[in-house]
Amino acid sequence: MDKKIIYKGAEAEIVLSRYLGEKVVQKRRIPKSYRIKEIDSFLISFRTKEEAKLISEARSYGVSVPIIYDVDLEGGVITMQYVAGRRIKDILNDLDEKERKRICIMIGESVAKLHNNDIIHGDITTSNMILLDDRIHFIDFGLGGKNSEIETKGVDLHVLMEAFESTHSQHPKCFDYVLEGYKKEFLGNTDTIVKKINDIVKRGRYR
């Protein structure tokens, strides 16, 4: 099949392709002409390596993510499984309340598994989750990293809270359900995380 760009952002493009007979997605980091070439090459290689490591780690901790088939550090390309499901963003509003609650609890459990191991996704939105075989697959760890701080985990969840408020505002209980799942799975003190989220909300309000 011909390679087909299915998404193009400022930092990377997502290309539908084939690899060893399998339908795959390739995430290709875009070179920046305004950066010194050596620095640009280093950053592309470093960020590609870090993202691939995060995805592999997430899988090892029981979070559903695409399988990585190949990593080209020089070219800044991660070749991975094409997750042929549906984005949570596209289906959540149309589910009945019982199923919506179940899905949101599953999201919270997965985020807690990431946070238990100090993996910060960096862009947790319902656009970056795909439902396939009754598992929620997390995609796009490009803004992610490793961090043990409560603040960073609170920010990670706050991003998700804002995503619910903007995209699924007619279902105000979604984030409460997420926290329900998170509290079941998180090994630390969830009260400090929730307090941090509330602090972040207040900070935004009084800016």
Q: What is the CATH number of the domain that holds 125?
A: 1.10.510.10
pLDDT in tens, 145-169: 999 999 999 999 999 999 999 999 9
Indicate the SS3 state at residue 132.
Answer: strand
Which residue in 131, 189, 121, 132 sits closest to 157, CA to CA?
121
Quickly count: other Cβ atoms within 10 Å of residue 43's Cβ: 15
Q: pLDDT 10s per residue in the chain (207 long)?
A: 568 988 888 889 999 999 999 999 999 999 998 999 999 999 999 999 999 999 999 999 999 999 999 999 999 999 999 999 999 999 999 999 999 999 999 999 999 999 999 999 999 999 999 999 999 999 999 999 999 999 999 999 999 999 999 999 999 999 999 999 999 999 999 999 999 999 998 887 654
Q: Are residues 124 and 69 in the same domain?
A: no
Give percent of the chain above pLDDT 90.
89
Domains in the chain: how many in total? 2
123 is known as an active-site residue: yes
- Give me the domain span that covers residue 97: 86-205
Q: Are residues 111 and 41 in the same domain?
A: no
Q: Are residues 66 and 12 in the same domain?
A: yes
Q: Which residue bears the tokens 């619910």?
A: 164
pLDDT for residue 9: 83
Exposed, middle or buried: residue 5 (CB in 10 Å: 0-12, 13-18, 19+)? exposed
Residue type at 88 in one-letter notation:
I
pLDDT for residue 1: 53
> Could you tell me where the beta strands, DSSP code E, fall in the chain?
4-8, 12-19, 22-29, 68-72, 77-81, 86-87, 119-120, 129-132, 135-138, 145-146
Specify the DSSP class assigned to residue 127: G
- Considering 72, 90, 123, 199, which one is annotated as catalytic? 123
